[in-house]
Structure formats: C-alpha cells, structure tokens
Structure 1
Amino acid sequence: MDNLVYRGLKLTNQYSTHLFIVARLGEAGVKIDDNNPAFIQWLHYVSKYRALKGDELAFSEVKLLEVLEKNMSEAKLFVSLTKVPGLENLAQSMIFKRSWSSHRHKLLNEAWLKSKESPANLFEILKLEQRVEIYDVNSLEWMRYTRMYMKETECLFPGTNVLSSKTTEQSVAVLFQKHQEVDDLKAFAEKLQNQLFDKWINQYKFKPTKLEVMIDAPMIRSGPRFTTLEAYTIRFAELHEKTVMECYNWRPNGNWTVT
C-alpha cells in the first residue's frame, strides 16, 4: 500500500475493514510469511485503531478473524503475528482469548511446530513466567508442545531449565508431580521429574530427608508435596539398590518419615 494513501486513511480515521478493501488485501495479499508490507501495515493500523478508540470492541479479534478467515487459518495467523515486531500484544491477546478450545490448542501446537518455534521462545510468547500452575491451560499446552518438539526434532530440550529459571527446582519437581495427574502428560512429566531426581541424587547427593525439609512435605499421605517426596524416595532407593522400606520410618498412626 502506498504510504501516502495509508497516512491519508489514518487521518480520516477509516474503519479497518474499509481500509482492508481499499488496499485490495485479498487472497494474494494476506501473506505474513512473505513479509508483505501492505498486509503488515494494515495489521499495525488495526492495532492503532483499537488503541485510538480505547475499546477493543471497536475492531475485535472476532471481527479481525471474520475479515481474514477466508485467506488464512486462525492458528497460522496467531503464530505469524507473534513474529511481526510491534504486533506481539495483539497476538497474545488473541491467543489468550480464543485458546479455551482443546481443538484450537492442537492446531496452534501444530502451527508452532511447523514454524520451528523453540519451547523456550514459546514460553516467553505465552508469558508463562508467573503462570506455571497445573490449572493454567496454556502451561499444560506448553508441556504438550515441548513433548511434540522433542519428538519431532529428536533433541533433548532442557524444559526443566526453562521452568527452574523462573522458580526453584523443588517447585518444578512438585509441578511435574501435579502434571502426572493429567493422563496424556503423565509419562512425560514422570520422565522429566526423574531426570531432575537423578541430578539431585548423583550430583547433589540429596537424601530424601533433605528434600523433605526443602519442600516442607507434610507427614500425612496426601497432596503433591507428599507424593513428590514419596516418588523421590522410591527413585533414591532404586539408584542405591535399597528397598523402599529401608528409606521409610512408619509411625503407629500410619504417617511416616524418611530416613
């Protein structure tokens, strides 16, 4: 789109759909991957138009998708937007508001994988630093994407390092324990948790009693902190060729401590 025309339309405060039509952004024009300047300029206009109106409903994500849906899949649009400087916030807003569907998550993960997005970059895109809880759907999907990425690239991705850079390794171990409650993530979460356990056992020489204090594990047999300690004790016994019972001190009331 000619810059002079673009500036003129901005000054007249044209509605975004009208600008889309005037700019002739049809099937051949809607291509972010080809760094299409006219389309990218239109997307910037949409973002600025929404900010100017002070109301996202002035040109909502739904309306944006209605304009574009015949030319680009929703998942591809979301992924592509994150790669355009200055449109990251628009992309994140659209992803968060429309990612409640498991079907959408599957399509998004496939699109991320096709674009070769690393799990580390996706962690930042989804702003998961403060949102690594079991009930956060985007955190769970990040775990699923990490598993897909590792399988596709045949690379060992240090997902544990990404998580522990935002919290403690002990909290990550408890998080993996929670993830094991999700059927399709159970095996993957257990594998990552065991890698972390092996590091503590072989490198740091942590005994179960050390972990018990570090995660403030309860004496009663319930909750993710207890089951994390229980899993670690079992792993510790396996690697030291002990029976699990040698690592337990059972109490008359059914509670226990580790030795």
Structure 2
Amino acid sequence: MPYQVNQAGLVGDGDEERTGMSSLSKVAAKVVTSRNRKSLERAITSSLDIGKHPRLVFASFKLDATGVKLDDTPLFLHWLNYVERYRRNHIDFSDFGMLQFLRKSNSDETLVELFQSIRQVPEMKKIADTLQRNLYWYSENGYKIMESVWLKSRVSPEEVFNIFLLRSESLERSSTFSDWLRYMKLFRKEYGADSFSDLHLIDLLSKANYRVEAQLGIFMQKLKGNPEFETLAESVQKTLFHKWIHNKHDINPKTFGDLLVNPGGEWKSLLMLPKTDARFKTLEGYTLQYAVELRGKSVKENVKKLFDGDNPEAALALAMNS
C-alpha cells in the first residue's frame, strides 16, 4: 500500500502503529504541515501519472536543494515509495543506480546513517538493507564507514547478520562472514562480552545455518586455523561443548560423534579420519573436555595419552567409563 500523508501530517499508510512510525527513525517522525500536505499529494500524484524518472522526481521534491538532510524530511520516504512503484514497469533505475545517484550529493557516512534511520520503518527495511549491502560491495571504504556508524548507533551483531543476509548461507565460503565476525569482536570490545555472548552466537548460528548444532563445533574447529579468529573460535567451541556435556540428556562422546556425522553416520567413522581432520579434532576436543568436566584432570590426561597414542576408541571409552 502506498504511503499517504495522514491527518497528523506523518508519512504512513493509514495505520501508524503498524508501519512503525513511532520508532526512533528521524525520517519516520517528521511532520508535514497541513499547508504543504495538499501540494505534496498533488506532486506525488503528478509524478506517478507522468511516470517521471526518479531523478527528476527527486529534484521536483527539492531533495537535492542545498542544506536538505534526507533523514530530516518525510519526502524522502515518499521518493523511495515512488521508486518502488516506478520500477514495477521500468528497469532503468537499479538498486546500484539508486545508490550511485544518492552518493553524488551525500557522503557514504551520511548514507549509512540515513539507511539505518529509514530501516526503522518496516516497509522501508528491505530497500534500506539492500542499499547498505550495495554500499558494502561497491564503496572502497564502505564497510569501515558502516562499521563505525553501526557501533556508534549500537546496532547489534544479529541485526548486521540479517543485513548481510547470512542466514542459510554457507559460512565457510562467505567472505562477508569474516567481516561480520570482525564487527562482532568490535561490538564486544565496545559494549562488553555479555553484549553478545558466546551462547548468543551459538544460538544465532545454530538456528540460521546449522540444523545440527553439534556440527557448529566442526566449523569452529576450522575457524581456529585462522589466527585472527583463533581465540574467539576456541572460546565458542568450549562453550558449545560445555552446553552439550551438561545437557539434560546424556550426550557422551559417542553420542556427540553420531551428531557430528548426522544424518546417517556413526561415531566410529570419525576414528578412521586423519588426526588433523576437523571432524576428528572436534570429537577429540569434546572427549577431552567431557573427561575433565565430569571425571577430573587426571582422567583427561590419560585420555589425551590414548589419543596421542593413536587409540581414540579406548580414549572415548575411558572418558565415558572412568
């Protein structure tokens, strides 16, 4: 449904609460005076009837005038709405084209702040996130600017995860995921480790990318091979193991091994892998942590000796039965 100027003079679609216009967004909260309301509606209707190019409509709304701040005028929301409707029948104003057009009169930092503002309006969230992703890909310093603005605005790592469309993506092949991890580390440094805990990270990744949560341990094992994320991955993996060790069900090393090769596999198949294989190392790490947390340090040391002596099956048995 197109945006209208309601009786309060706010940009909305007739249902202020549903569109989220009471949010923190400056764009969403701006008032259009009753004196301007009719002329605004006429301008929008005229633009739609004529089918003007969005660049011309932008100028007719005087959004390119000196001193105009796009996040201070609801006209910008009308323009975005017009762009959406225009593109139903035209292909000459792509997301990338729109971003480049806006960059001509606005700094990248201003645009990131603007996109963060308009995404508070539910109907604008999709286009705002699309524009941010385009800025990330096509601006040389776009990500650093976005990172700075997000931190200052306390945008949570989970929100950035969603902006980057990382859900259901193969994280091992995603270059964007590394940038997301860097942002998460900065966010923790700025606001404290509890602002986005290891458990929160595990919950997010297991729901979004790993249907079998235990297999997240394999990913963390691989991530430990990257010096930049080694400490983080080690911490997350230990937290994951601790969670499963103290699960209300008896998740012993063999049961955990079955989960690592799920579906259809069995823990014994892991023992035939090279000792350097991430899957084998994950099972070994879980078994050692299981031993020390439930059996004690001395048992863990003996379990480790069995692993080092190429007797992993005996290592699992000792950890479980001591």
TM-score range, shorter chain: 0.7 to 0.9
Q: Distance in 1 between matches of 2:117 and 2:278?
A: 38
Q: Which residue in the other structure is 1:246 paired with?
A: 303
The answer to whether the 8 A contact 2:217-2:282 is kept is yes
Match of 1:136 in 2: 174
| Larger displacement relative to structure 2 (11-20 or 230-239) | 230-239
Amino acid at match of 1:221: K
Q: Is 2:86 the partner of 1:49?
A: yes
Give the letter for the 1:40 counterpart: L
1:219 corresponds to = 273
Q: Name the CA distance, whole Å, in 1 between partners of 2:176 and 2:245.
A: 31
CA offset at residue 55 of structure 1?
5.0
Q: CA deviation at 1:72?
A: 5.3
Q: Of residues 61, 69, 73 in structure 2, which corresponds to 1:30? A: 69
Residues 211-255 of structure 1, C-alpha deviations (whole Å, 9 max, x = no match): 222102453224332232233234334433134442564599x58
Match of 2:159 in 1: 121
Using the TM superposition, give the Cα deviation of residue 14 of structure 1 relative to its aligned residue in structure 2, in angstroms: 1.5
Q: Which residue of 2 aligns with 1:169?
A: 213
Question: What SS does the corresponding residue of 1:191 show, helix, strand or coil?
Answer: helix
Whole-Å separation in 1 of the counterparts to 2:109 and 2:57: 18
Please give the alpha-carbon distance, in whole angstroms, between the structure 1 residues aligned to 2:140 and 2:228: 13
Matches within 5 A, 1:27-106: 27-32=66-71, 34=72, 36-54=73-91, 56-57=93-94, 60-70=97-107, 73-100=110-137, 103-106=141-144
* TM-score of the aligned structures, taking structure 2 as reference length: 0.67
Deviations along 1:52-84, whole A, 9 cap, x unmatched?
A: 314554971443333442485343344334333
Quote the residue 1:233 is aligned against: 287
* 2:43 counterpart letter in structure 1: V
Q: Residue 213 of structure 1 aligns to a residue in which SS?
A: helix
> Are residue 179 (structure 1) and residue 216 (structure 2) matched?
no
Is the 2:157–2:183 contact (alpha carbons within 8 Å) kept by the matching residues of 1?
yes
State the SS of the aligned residue for 2:89. Answer: helix
In the TM superposition, what is the alpha-carbon distance from 1:15 to its structure 2 partner? 1.6
Q: Deviations over 1:173-220 (max 9, x none)?
A: 222223323332221222122111112223455332322221024532
**Structure 1 residues 173 and 55: CA distance shift in structure 2, 3 A:** farther
1:140 CA drift (Å)? 2.7
Q: CA deviation at 1:132?
A: 4.9
Per-residue deviation at 1:8? 0.7
CA contact (8 A) 1:16 1:46 kept: yes
Task: Work out whether residues 160 and 192 of structure 1, in 8 Å CA contact, stay in contact via their aligned partners in 2.
Answer: yes
Query: Residue 208 of structure 1 aligns with which residue?
Result: 253
Separation in 1, partners of 2:163, 2:70:
21
d(CA) in 1 for partners of 2:80, 2:157: 26
Question: Counterpart of 2:284 in structure 1: which amino acid?
Answer: E
Task: Indicate the larger mover: 50-59 or 105-114.
Answer: 50-59
Q: RMSD of aligned C-alpha atoms?
A: 3.1
Helix, strand or coil for the counterpart of 2:180?
A: helix
* Structure 2 alignment gaps of length 5 or more: 1-35, 262-269, 317-322
Q: Which amino acid aligns with 1:37?
A: P
Structure 1 residues 238 and 56: alpha-carbon distance in aligned structure 2, compared to 1, 3 A threshold: farther
CA, structure 1 residues 107+174, in 2 after alignment: closer, same or farther (shift >3 Å)?
farther
TM-score (structure 1 length as normaliser): 0.81
Q: Which has the larger radius of gyration?
A: 2
What is the percentage of aligned positions where both structures have the same residue?
A: 24
Question: For residues 200 and 19 of structure 1, do their structure 2 counterparts lie closer, same or farther at Cα, with a shift above 3 Å needed?
Answer: same
Return the letter of the residue paired with 1:160: I
